Chains A and B, each alone.
Chain A
């Protein structure tokens, strides 16, 4: 983001979520996901607010167990027991139909099974980490694209399915001749491309990428990523990009949200996260990989080990590993707030909190 952009953003009155004043598409409000029930329940996602805007790429980063994948599964209602959504809303803003009024947002979590089936893939498509397992080994590529089309476009002919599959595959750089291939006949990169083609089948507005390149080697990772960026320009969908690889995220995302122990700890434009991370945890993450360009800096890493969600410390979950922790951190859970110096971001930290203990309630 350039300097002018930042100024423009600053002109917008700081809202609850200081997104750059664009049209919200997917609003996650107070989402809480538990694993297990009763006293032994673990809050894998704890009261998370996050908004994805139209045509925006939002990165969601955090270490293993921070709840980022659980969040993605909850948003698409793909959670398996013992995972349970225990609170919150996921509001989806549909596009206005040709000149008509903008329809009111729908709550994905309140949809009945038929609505949910119609919503899935049509509006939100997902690309999973391991394309090896994400494609059904006993059906060929074309069949797997076709059954998506048939489920959502009743009456589509076999010939139309074939044409659409060929077109989609060509779009993602897979020769159309490979559509009769089975997953085991394709390389890892090809499979992930097929997965992406499948995700685009119904022209969704949101693409959730759950560690889409983690299982690929670095070169193929690059190619797939470049392809995704190109497709996003071409089709204009919004992306929720989930990864533990912050360096990757800083390159492709407009905005980055950092999760720790099921909570959002910081949300800011990607460049801001890279240049001046606010939250000590974000600082630790940014300090733990070498910069590709610019002057060298010392790598620091984060001491300690990831938190155990079953026994989180009182107050800030990061406090035991934080070099700046003081008494209040071990007492009150910090809430997300807009730091006075940087209106375009949200931080959940007691450091530099101007108004004493007002949000301790």
Chain B
């Protein structure tokens, strides 16, 4: 019963947060100087008539109506999935442009983040359990890799494995001559294109998971319940995973959720270096081309993803930590 109530309270909380975020998303572009129709029309260097201006404004959905009625229209369009037209991919619809890019990002960065999290956490568990052994060498090594700027690692990887050794392709998400679909050829091409971006992400982010998990493990290992588990004659693996790691995992889980939320925005550098057709690359282009509708759409997606990831973590916490169910 308390769990159901907890769930409803969380849902209400996220609904309010989402509403606030969406409203901000509506307000911010309207508070900024400049307007989208001027961006389009500037290409014509003033050689346009009033009718043409009105036509472009109508096409872009720019309205002269009061702010409240615009807000109403904004919600109506949003709920029907209409995010307006992109300026830089004109006349493509923002929702379509994002829809093409978002899966590349979610799959690439999502899988890389998940691998990095799982691997880093497991290594952290081991490093803490066998502290003082050779595994301790992981700490300076991974910390070094995460301290080096990401774009530099990415460029080095690209030049070594892509240019010098020729093992992996240099740019893009797949061979451009292939049709996007579920064919084996396309999937293998997409996979080989994703290896370098994924590897560089894992290498540069694993230290965070490893260090966090190791430190939490060291705290839980000295807890009495771990000693009791050992005294009970449980197998070492059960003590390590079921008692020490199980309790140490909780802070890392919330870190993982945060990073899931930032998959979309965090991918900008990766996708720019590797010219990967994901949403970070889109955002980069949108900023370069003053493509407000596209930016707005991407920000909206980022916001919703952060909220969604947080919600999922809240649910995970309910399952993982019985103490949460009573509080909040």
Contact = CB atoms under 8 A, between A and B. Distances in A.
Interface stretch (A10-18, A132-140, A305-313): A132-140
B243 interface: yes
Interface string A111-125: 001001111111001
A184 interface: yes
Contact of A182 (B246, B247, B323): B323
Given A134-B224, A134-B225, A148 B322 contact: no
Contacts of A137: 225, 247, 321-323
A140 B232 contact: no
A247 interface: no
B230 interface: yes
B6 to A, nearest CB: 15
Interface in A127-167: 128-130, 133-140, 147-148, 151-152
B320 interface: yes
A126 B231 contact: yes
A292 to B, nearest CB: 31
A147 B232 contact: yes
Contacts of B227: 78, 80, 128, 134
B233 interface: yes
A151 B322 contact: no
A319 interface: no
A138 B318 CA distance: 11
A70 interface: no
A151 B228 contact: no
Contacts of B242: 139, 147
B43 interface: no
A138 B229 CA distance: 13
Given A136-B243, A138-B246, A138-B320, A121 B231 contact: yes
A185 B320 CA distance: 16
B235 interface: yes
Contacts of B243: 136
Given A133-B223, A136-B243, A137-B247, A120 B322 contact: no
A111 to B, nearest CB: 11
- Contact residues on B (Cβ < 8 Å of other chain), bracket: 20 to 34
A76 interface: yes
Contact of B235 (A78, A134, A138, A151): A151
B328 to A, nearest CB: 14
Residue among B132, B223, B234, B238 with max Cβ neighbours from chain A (10 Å): B234
B224 A184 contact: no
B231 A76 contact: yes
Interface in A202-235: none
Given A128-B228, A133-B223, A151-B238, A121 B247 contact: no
Interface string B129-143: 000100000000000
A71 to B, nearest CB: 15
Contacts of B326: 184-185
Contacts of B238: 147, 151
B225 A147 contact: no
Interface residues of A, number: 33
Contacts of A120: 230-233
Chain B interface mostly? helix
Given A121-B232, A147-B238, A148-B232, A138 B224 contact: no
Residue among A128, A136, A185 with max Cβ neighbours from chain B (10 Å): A136
B47 to A, nearest CB: 70
B322 A133 contact: no
Contacts of B246: 136, 138
A122 B223 CA distance: 22
Residue among A81, A113, A117 with max Cβ neighbours from chain B (10 Å): A117
Interface in B243-286: 243, 246-247
A129 B228 CA distance: 11
Contacts of B232: 120-121, 147-148, 151, 198
Interface string A168-195: 0000000000000010110000000000
Residue among A78, A118, A119, A137 with max Cβ neighbours from chain B (10 Å): A137
Interface in B192-239: 222-225, 227-236, 238
Contacts of A134: 224-225, 227-228
Contact of B234 (A78, A113, A147, A185): A147
A78 B231 contact: yes
B229 A125 contact: no
Interface in A8-32: none
A121 B233 contact: yes
B231 A136 contact: no
B229 A136 contact: yes
A348 to B, nearest CB: 30
Nearest to B323: A184
Residue among B224, B229, B234, B323 with max Cβ neighbours from chain A (10 Å): B224
Contacts of B223: 133
Nearest to B223: A133
Interface string B295-328: 0000000000000000000000000111100100
Contacts of A78: 227, 230-231
Contacts of B228: 126, 128, 134-136
Nearest to B230: A78
B247 A118 contact: no
A151 B225 contact: no
Contact of A148 (B234, B247, B320, B321): B234
Contacts of A130: 224
A78 B230 CA distance: 8
Interface in B57-106: none
8 contacts: A78-B227, A117-B235, A135-B228, A136-B228, A137-B321, A138-B246, A182-B322, A184-B322
Given A78-B227, A126-B231, A184-B323, 18 more contacts: A117-B234, A119-B233, A120-B232, A120-B233, A128-B227, A129-B224, A134-B224, A136-B228, A138-B247, A138-B320, A138-B321, A138-B322, A147-B234, A147-B238, A151-B233, A151-B235, A184-B322, A198-B232
